Each structure stands twice: as C-alpha cells, then as structure tokens.
Amino acid sequence: MIRLRGLSDDELIDISKGRQLNLSLEEMQRIQKFFLEQGREPTEVELEAIAQSWSEHCSYKSSKPVMRRTIFKCTREGIISEDAGVVEFDEDHYYVAALESHNHPSALDPYGGAATGVGGIVRDVLCMGAKPVALANMLFFGPLSMPYEKLPRGTKHPAYLLRGVVKGISDYGNRIGVPTISGLICFDESYTGNCLVNVGCAGIMRKEHLVRSKAGGEGDIFVIAGGKTGRDGIHGVTFASYELSEGSEVFSRPAVQLGDPLTKEVLIHAVLECVEERLVTGMKDLGGGGLSSCVCEMSSELGAEIELANVPLRERMEPWEIWVSESQERMMLTVREENLSRALEIFEKWDIDAAPIGKVTSDRRIRIFSNGTKVADMPMDLLSGLEYERSFRKREVRERGIEFREPENLNTVLLNMISYADVASKEYAIKQYDQVIQGNTVLYPLQGRFNSKGPGDAAIIKPLESMRGLAITSDSSPLKVGLDPYRGSMCIVEESLRNLVAVGAKPDSLMDCLNLGNPEDESIMGDFVSVCEGTADAAMAFNLPIISGNVSFYNESSMGAILPAPVLMGIGIIDDVRKAVSMDVKSDGNSLYLIGETDNELGGSQYARLLNLNGGMVPEVDSKGFMKKARSLLKAMDLAIIASCHDVSDGGIGVALAEMLFAGGFGAKVSIKSIPGKASRFDQKLFSESNGRWIVEVEKGEEKSFKELCRDAIHIGQVTEDRYMKIDERIDMSIDDLYDAWKKGIDV
C-alpha cells in the first residue's frame, strides 16, 4: 500500500515526483480524496495505473476539449477512428492509417526512440486487422552546424540525433518488411533541445476482417501475444508529459523502450492469420501505458479481471512494473473461450509467446491479481482520464508585407536557397529506407533520372492486384505556423492536397500530429487552439476527414519551447496507377505552364528566412479556387496530356522549376513577368510561396486540349535541351550547378 491519508501537499508532490508519476498537486489530492472515501490506501498498482491513465499522453486532458470543437468535427459517414482511421478503399477493402509522435524517447535515445516509434504505429494499424503496407516519417532537428559549445548540458548534437533517428527508422522498417515511402526533415534552432520524431503507417484489409479496439463481450479471454514483458518503457507516458531537462538523460532513460523488429515481423503474420480465421473479437496494441492503458481502454464499457502471474516476463518484476511496462512488440487480443486453443496454436506455430491472462467482465471494474492476490480493484470511471479547459491567449498577428531591398544577384540567392537544409536533398535519409519491399511501390519519393533525381510531391503504392493506388504525402510548415498559427495550419492542409493532386491522386483523408510546448503556458495553448481551428477549418472547407491523429505537448527544454510543428499525413486515391504523374520534366520542346496566382506572400517563406526577414504575409488559402483548379488538372492527367507536374511550395517558382529540370536532365527558357497575382517585384514572383500553384509540363501537341481544361493556366516557357534554367533576364544557371548545391545541402 502507498500511504496517502494525512499527507501534506508537499508530501503528495514528493510521492508524485519520487515515483515519476508527473501528477499535479490537484491530481494527487483528487486521488487522496477518492481513497479516503473508500476507507483505504491505494496499492502501488492502483496509483501507477491512475498516473498512466491521467497522463497527457493517454488522456489528452489539455487537448481533447479543444479538438472536440474543431478536429473531431472533420469526419464523414462510414469512417472508423480508433487506434487508426479506417476508410473505404474499394468495394471490398478498407485502407487503414495512423500518425503518432515519439519525441521525448528519440531525444534521449535517437536510435531506439525512433525505431520503437515505428513499431508502435505499425501496431496501431495492425490492431484494426490490416496488413501494414507503407511507412512515413516527419523529423525536426536543430541546425546541423550548431557549435558544440552552444549545446545545453545533457543535449545531444542535432547531427548525432539525425544519424541515430534515420538509422533507427530504417533498421526497423526494413527488417519488418514495410516500405518507407514518404517523409520530411525540417531544421530550426528551437528543436535543438527537443527533436521531433513523428511516424505514420498505412495498411490494407478486406472489410470483413475489421477488428475493433474494444473487448468483444463478457466472458471473452484476454490473450497477450508477442515479446516478453520487461523493465524497459516504464513510465513512458508520464515521461512524455513533461519537459526535457539536463537530468532526463539519467532519470528517464528506463522510459525508452527496446524494439525487436524480427519478433514484430513474425507477430504481424501470426496476428493476421488469427484475424483471417475470425478468431479475434477485439484487439489493441500495448503501447503507451502498457497493460494498464490497453486493458482499461479495451474494457472501459465492460470490465476486466487480469492475472499478472500469467504474463510472459523477461525478468523478475514487481506487479506494478508488469502493469505499466511499455515493452515492445506486444498485442492484446480478446477471443471467445471456444476459440482460445486455436488462437494459441497459431501463435505457437509462428514461435510467438502468447498466454491467456484474464477475462472480460460486465461490472465496469478492473480487478488485478498477482499469483491469486488482489493488487488492484477500481471502477473504470476512475481510469477514464481527465479533461481541462486550459486558459489560453492567442498571439497577435499583423498582416502586412515586408519592406526590403531586392537583392541584385538572384542567381546567388537561388543557389543558397536550394542548398538550405530545409529545401536541400533528403537523399541521405531516403536511401537508407527500403522503398521496394513488398513490390507495391509505383512512384518513389525521389523521382527522375538515375543520377539526378528530384523530390517528389507524393509517393504511390498499389496495395492490391487491381490498378487502384494510394498516394501518400507528409507535410508541415513550422515557419508559417510560427508567424500565424491559424493561417499557417491552413497552408499545411492545402499543401498536402496540392501534393496529392500533383501526382494524379484525388485527396481522400488526412491525419494530424500536433507538436507544441507546455499547454499550461497560455500563449502556447493559444497557439494550439489556433492550430486546431486552422486545420479543422481548412479540412472542412475541402470536405476532407481527419481520420486519426496525435497531440504531443511539453516539447520544451532549457532552450525554451519548440517552434509549433503541426504535421499532416495526406492520403489520396488514384484509380489507375499507370496514369501517375512524376515531377521530372520529360522532353525538350514541351510547354511549361503555371497554374495559380502569385501574391506578395513571403511570410514564413524560405526566402524570408534566408534574408533574415521578420514578419510578412502568410499565404491565404482559397478552397473554392483550389478545388476548381484541382479538378481540371486531374482531368488533364487522366487524359495523359500532362508529362510532369510539381507543386510550388518551399522556395517558390525558382526552386520548383529547378527541381523539375535537374530531375529530368533538361533546361528551360521561362518568363514570369506576366504571371497573374499581386506580386509586383521579380523576386516576389520568383520566391513567393502563395498557395494553389503547380508548374505543369504539357506534351507537344496537347497545348490546346490542356488550355481547354485548365483555363487559368499561364504559359511561361519551354523545356530546352541546353541544361540551363533561364528566367527572364534575371536567372541564368546551369542545372548541374543547381543539382550539386541541392544534393550537398545536408552534410552529416
């Protein structure tokens, strides 16, 4: 028993800190009051279970009230949103997708933290009954050139973190046999003390194989399967619910889990075989909070009795440690008693540890035993989590342009911008990821010629025998969100859709992962509210559901809070993958067109960052105009009159055109003097990051058909054979020089 009766406030806080519960004084007082009313003290298991369920990570206590008014409204009929989102793919199949964060563990142990992040998101898709078919990742680090003397004590260098994270993701994803086909890497000094590692997964399944994340019914048997339980990952969710400090390296290291991809690969096969034989009545992965969160969430509307002595262990452990351990590669299934022996037989065939550890009840209580001795007995309501209406203060946003002198040598500016870490090639990471395994990848993240590939807008997989495909993109824009959280978040939604359309896919759904600092700070909570409102308003304007997501708070260190980093994973459907469009130009003599208007919108742009300019207008989002242009462009792609297409985003027209050219191995002669929009100066037209724009290469002889479909498109030039990019009289550069600068931008 843990003595709480008669303890002072200071003594309650000492217990919270000493046991790494990360509960506030008010929360500890609430627990104290509950057990006083029960006339007893809590057991270790009970106190630890409450701490897990009340953590920010598990209960979403600061974010849920806001998301209920915003993000949760972005849905449509027929979608299931549990551990992962489930959406119709075709008449017989669903696609399943999820997006999560694993930030704090990756800051302490970049390899292990990133690897287990991938493992966790794969389990989220698997537990719905789906086969994982694609992975994505979104990574944020401090500057790679950060001097070591500027690093806070206890903080690892960004280059070390990048190497470890990429290696962890590649080793895990490659070994479980799931291709990693989408991602992004951003850099900012604010991420130096707290890097961000967000991971996504998509899967495919037959509709009749759908499994819910809930226990089937009274009398069903809980079966734990997969890796053995150990002491790694204890207090993982409570660790993720407070800020990193110099002491985190020592005190929080046990919270980082240990991954085992070889066990996971076999576990996937075993679980899917149980699903295909219709043995499973409910399923959930053991992630944050371990058994505590898993069992209580599965049986929250029913009840459960668990015997901890039956849990397969790697080492001798205390009951409370077994209950909250976040050891990896574990799944929880409920099966009917008559199907238990067959389920265990399947796991034995695959050489996977599996054991019945309890049963589903109907009294809405959780009872936990250890070798027959009761170590916990609580009502489910106590473990349902908390909700707080945090006070917030939105930031004041001033919408005005930036006054500065136009640089004389824009060739040098463009060369510096394309080599800037956020814009430069991410080939260092991409080539470590297996994109070919499973044999379903149709369009890769790097596209174009073998020796000078450029960055694709989205990747495409063909998960079934039909020609129908899934397009996947990963997007964020912390610079824009940092200036205007509402409009910046809308920009991310629009860019996600723009990327999907660029490859010929119709946008179908979104997932979000919202990374911010301490929600108890009114200004940070204000940013969160604005991010949710902007994301939801844009998604609803485009009539797109947000099917899954995650909120990661307390991303702070001694350097302060991170730049807000909402991340989206977008999924589109392409009816025929043979009509997919890549971003590399295909032939000299083809015409180049610009779709969309260019305004003086440099706020949060790479151009503004390069010139150290503050403020400016964050681009607006025109949903109606976008939808009209997107429909026309998709029709042109369906008719196969588009040779290549690239969205205009980071770096504006200058960077987008350069990427298309060096990926294709051609040059271009272009004029942007007369492009539509409010941008007046040449540098504004070249580097503005206005939304709703694509550069399109049209096949010879198809210009008339294209113009009939895309009436707003403006002819800006031709593809040439001379391997030089010439834009009016201001830009004249070798595409080889541009490619070399882009290729060498990240040096680790």
In three-state form (DSSP H/G/I as H, E/B as E, the rest C), the secondary structure along 600-625 is: CCCCCCHHHHHCCCCCCCCCCCCHHH
* 8 Å CB contact between 648 and 693: yes
CA distance linking residue 159 with residue 143, whole number of Å = 8
57 carries an active-site annotation: yes
**Amino acid identity for residue 95 in this structure:** Y
Name the β-bridge partners of 354: 225
Which tokens hold the place of 161? 């973190």
| Residue the block writes with tokens 């020592």 | 250
715 carries an active-site annotation: no
Smallest Cα–Cα separation from 106: which of 135, 138, 134, 84?
Answer: 138
Sign (positive/negative) of CA torsion 118, 122, 125, 128? negative
CA distance linking residue 301 with residue 278, whole number of Å = 23
CA angle at 481 for the pair 480 and 482, rounded to the nearest 5°: 90
Contacts of 736 by beta carbon, 8 Å cutoff, 6+ apart: 662, 723
Smallest Cα–Cα separation from 437: which of 233, 636, 175?
Answer: 175
Helix (H) or strand (E) holding 670: strand 667-670
The one catalytic residue in 102, 104, 235, 646 is 102
Name the β-bridge partners of 139: 185, 197
Q: 592: helix, coil or strand?
A: strand
* 8 Å CB contact between 367 and 376: yes
**Exposed (0-12), middle (13-18) or buried (19+): which is 117, by Cβ within 10 Å?**
buried
Helix (H) or strand (E) holding 294: helix 290-298
CA distance linking residue 572 with residue 502, whole number of Å = 11
The one catalytic residue in 57, 104, 235, 646 is 57
Which tokens hold the place of 203? 């899967």
Residues classed as catalytic: 57, 102
